[in-house]
Amino acid sequence: MKNIVFIAPPAAGKGTQSHLLKKKYNLAHISTGDLLRKASLEESERGDYIRNCLSQGRLVSDEITLELLTERLNESDCENGYILDGFPRNVKQAIAYESWLNQTQKDLGYVIFLDIPKELAQKRIVGRETCPNCGAVFNDQIEVSKPKQDGICDICEHQLVKRKDDNDETFNQRYDTYMEQTEPLINHYRSLGILHTINEIDKEKAFQQIEKIIHE
């Protein structure tokens, strides 16, 4: 199975599609967001730096991000193929990653761009509520995703929580950064003739389109 790279604005569904692919094809799901959040817990200069970036909605430096990523890619579960969720975020990262692939004789695989409107992405972020007990996710701004009882998990009736950085200010900072740095990345992959674009917002239909791409 080839590797898969997802490019998308915040809350476009990278994590959801990655989970579906991981489950069906036994691929390692590598979320740079998860890697950074884990590293931010380190009591070190690197951990302090990452913590500050995340709290202010700024991107972590390319060097630190690539360092964390290559550490993860060297783990055994990546040998069968992996999904990159949130990396690369800019052309510089893409070129560094392509250089690493050449050095390790690995294939880039599929590059898939999930494109959704900014307004929908903002609702998905700001309205997101998660159950810390069972992991279920709801959204108080999207009708079909609201919990039956405000603030209570439908599945286990635990109190739902919101992440501190799920707010309008942080979202706008993240989105502006995405527009500035990630759009040139889309053009980079498009110029190489390897970019696949999906505009479908329904997760099941989007997954069907992704499967069509990887089986072709």
For residue range 95-131, what is the model confidence (pLDDT) as tens digits? 999 999 999 888 899 999 999 999 999 999 999 999 9
When comparing pLDDT for 86 and 91, which is higher?
91
The pTM assigned to this predicted structure is: 0.79
Please indicate whether residue 89 is annotated as part of the active site.
yes
* 156 in any annotated domain: no
Please indicate whether residue 124 is annotated as part of the active site.
no
**134: pLDDT strictly greater than 90:** yes
| Paired tokens of 156 | 């286990």
* 134 in any annotated domain: no
* 140 in any annotated domain: no
* 133 in any annotated domain: no
What's the full length of the chain, in residues? 216
Domain that holds residue 196: 4-118+168-215
User: At 112, which amino acid appears?
Assistant: I
Q: Determine which one of 2, 23, 58, 163 is catalytic.
A: 163
* 147 in any annotated domain: no
Q: Determine which one of 72, 123, 124, 174 is catalytic.
A: 174
Please indicate whether residue 174 is annotated as part of the active site.
yes
Q: Determine which one of 72, 123, 124, 128 is catalytic.
A: 128
Instruction: Return the CATH number at 82.
Output: 3.40.50.300
SS3 content of the chain, % helix, strand, coil (to 5): 50, 15, 35
Which pLDDT belongs to residue 11? Answer: 86
* 126 in any annotated domain: no
DSSP state of 149: B
* 79 in any annotated domain: yes
Q: Determine which one of 72, 89, 123, 124 is catalytic.
A: 89
Domains: count for the chain: 1
**1: pLDDT strictly greater than 80:** no
Closest Cα to residue 80, out of 162, 1, 168, 164? 1
